[in-house]
């Protein structure tokens, strides 16, 4: 079995995955959403302190599995340096105490493998990752053959939802809050501009849209918030589908997946489904409970890396806030 740890942002999670069957034997996650909600976003130092409390509590429950562990996998990149270090330090301690090898996992690959928890892998696969930290399109051929073809030049898709909710004083995380508010709103009421519409580059940008929403919020009264939320969600999603449509002109995917916290958004799912229809591409989604950060996806990558002997030493394993993907 493999013990996996996730602490890249505001979720403390540990999982136990059986290597041979890929079965998830244990998974526990403690989210810090409530604690960060009053600040309208994640406060890194507070997050680190909460991980330091939560991770040992969860680890305690995994003791019965210790004798069967073959390796310990941990998210080491990308994420907040001060929170990644909490998980990595714990993983190193477990590695030394139990005499088992260490596996450093890329969190973005973790999100891709959230599709394959307790399942076989499916490749080739084109993946849209939409989370709080990333908005990117990747062509995935295998664990070690992943090519990023588009990414955000500034804010991410999920982050823009967080910031819009913060502007309206509605708390954190903004994604589910804005999605709920948008349901009763008019998507055409506010005519926000689709980002990078005339730009040929295959890239994303959310800072301009965020600022346009800020101006609208400042002028609006509370009754308008639902229409702003709906119009924002519509344009934020249209930006994704517009760029994907462009990408599909040269590269039609057979298998397409949306992963990451924001892949839970039903409007986004619907729009992507519509976009894929004429191409007869198959759409893959993670189970709702594995869209946001979790340790099950890290364990699933851990199993794959274990089978390929992709271990690292105590000295080699370090945190890297920015991903190389």
Residues that bind ligand KG4 (CB under 6 A): 9, 131-133, 158-159, 161-162, 173-176, 179, 260-262, 264-265, 292-293
What are the structure tokens assigned to 3, written together?
Answer: 């013990």
Taking Cα atoms as reference points, which of 127, 121, 128, 126 lies closest to residue 143?
121
The residue among 234 and 300 lying less far from Zn ion, judged by its C-beta, is 300
Q: Which does 158 bind (CB under 5 to 8 A by kind): Zn ion, ligand KG4, none?
A: ligand KG4
Coil/strand/helix, residue 138: strand
Query: 71-77 and 2-6: which strand pairing?
Result: parallel
293 lies in the site for Zn ion, by CB under 5 A: yes
Based on the number of CB atoms within 10 Å of its own CB, is 121 exposed (0-12), middle (13-18) or buried (19 or more)? middle
Torsional sign, CA 106, 108, 114, 115: negative
86 lies in the site for Zn ion, by CB under 5 A: no
**Cβ 285 to Zn ion, closest distance in Å?**
15
Cα 140 versus chain centre, distance:
16
| CB distance 204 to 251 below 8 Å | no
Stretch that binds Zn ion, among 92-100, 127-135, 224-232, 247-255 (CB under 5 A): 127-135
Taking Cα atoms as reference points, which of 273, 180, 188 lies closest to residue 228?
188
- Looking at the DSSP bridge assignments, the partners of residue 314 are none
**Residue 323 and residue 81: Cα distance in Å, rounded?**
12
Q: Which does 78 bind (CB under 5 to 8 A by kind): ligand KG4, Zn ion, none?
A: none
Which 8-state DSSP code applies to residue 312?
B
Coil/strand/helix, residue 282: strand
The residue among 103 and 262 lying less far from ligand KG4, judged by its C-beta, is 262
**Cβ 241 to ligand KG4, closest distance in Å?**
15
Which 8-state DSSP code applies to residue 192?
P
The residue among 71 and 325 lying less far from ligand KG4, judged by its C-beta, is 325
Walk across the sheet containing 102-106 and list its strands: 24-31, 11-17, 2-6, 71-77, 102-106
156 lies in the site for Zn ion, by CB under 5 A: no
The residue among 41 and 101 lying less far from ligand KG4, judged by its C-beta, is 41
Candidates 131, 135, 263, 294: give the one binding Zn ion (CB under 5 A): 131
**Cβ 42 to ligand KG4, closest distance in Å?**
9
The residue among 7 and 17 lying less far from ligand KG4, judged by its C-beta, is 7
Stretch that binds Zn ion, among 117-125, 139-147, 190-198, 290-298 (CB under 5 A): 290-298
**Cβ 159 to Zn ion, closest distance in Å?**
12
The residue among 91 and 291 lying less far from ligand KG4, judged by its C-beta, is 291
**Cβ 129 to Zn ion, closest distance in Å?**
8
Residues of this chain that interact with Zn ion (CB under 5 A) are 131, 293
């Amino acid at each position: 079995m493999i013990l996996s740890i996730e602490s890249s942002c505001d979720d403390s999670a540990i999982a136990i995955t059986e290597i041979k069957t890929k079965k998830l034997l244990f998974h526990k996650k403690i989210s810090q959403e409530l604690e960060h909600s009053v600040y309208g976003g994640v406060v890194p130092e507070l997050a680190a302190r909460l991980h330091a409390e939560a991770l040992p509590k969860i680890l305690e429950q995994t003791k019965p599995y210790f004798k069967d562990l073959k390796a310990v996998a941990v998210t080491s990149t990308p994420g907040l340096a001060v929170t990644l270090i909490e998980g990595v330090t714990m993983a190193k301690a477990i590695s030394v105490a139990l005499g088992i090898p260490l596996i450093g996992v890329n969190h973005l690959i973790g999100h891709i493998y959230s599709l394959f928890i307790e399942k076989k892998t499916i490749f080739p696969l084109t993946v849209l990752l939409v989370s709080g930290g990333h908005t990117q399109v990747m062509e995935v051929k295998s664990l070690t053959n992943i090519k990023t073809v588009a990414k955000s030049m500034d804010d991410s898709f999920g982050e823009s939802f967080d910031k819009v909710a913060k502007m309206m004083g509605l708390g954190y995380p903004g994604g589910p809050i804005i999605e709920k508010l948008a349901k009763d709103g008019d998507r055409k009421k506010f005519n926000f501009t689709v980002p990078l519409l005339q730009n040929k580059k295959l890239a994303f940008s959310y800072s301009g849209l965020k600022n346009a929403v800020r101006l609208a919020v400042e002028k609006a009264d509370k009754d308008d918030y639902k229409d702003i939320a709906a119009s924002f969600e519509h344009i934020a999603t249209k930006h994704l589908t517009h760029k994907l449509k462009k990408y599909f002109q040269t590269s039609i995917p057979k298998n397409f997946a949306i992963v990451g916290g924001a892949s839970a958004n039903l409007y986004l799912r619907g729009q992507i489904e519509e976009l894929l229809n004429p191409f007869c591409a198959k759409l893959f989604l993670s189970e709702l409970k594995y869209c946001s950060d979790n340790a099950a996806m890290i364990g699933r990558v851990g199993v794959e890396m274990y089978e390929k002997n992709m271990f690292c030493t105590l000295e080699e394993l370090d945190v890297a806030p920015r991903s190389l993907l």
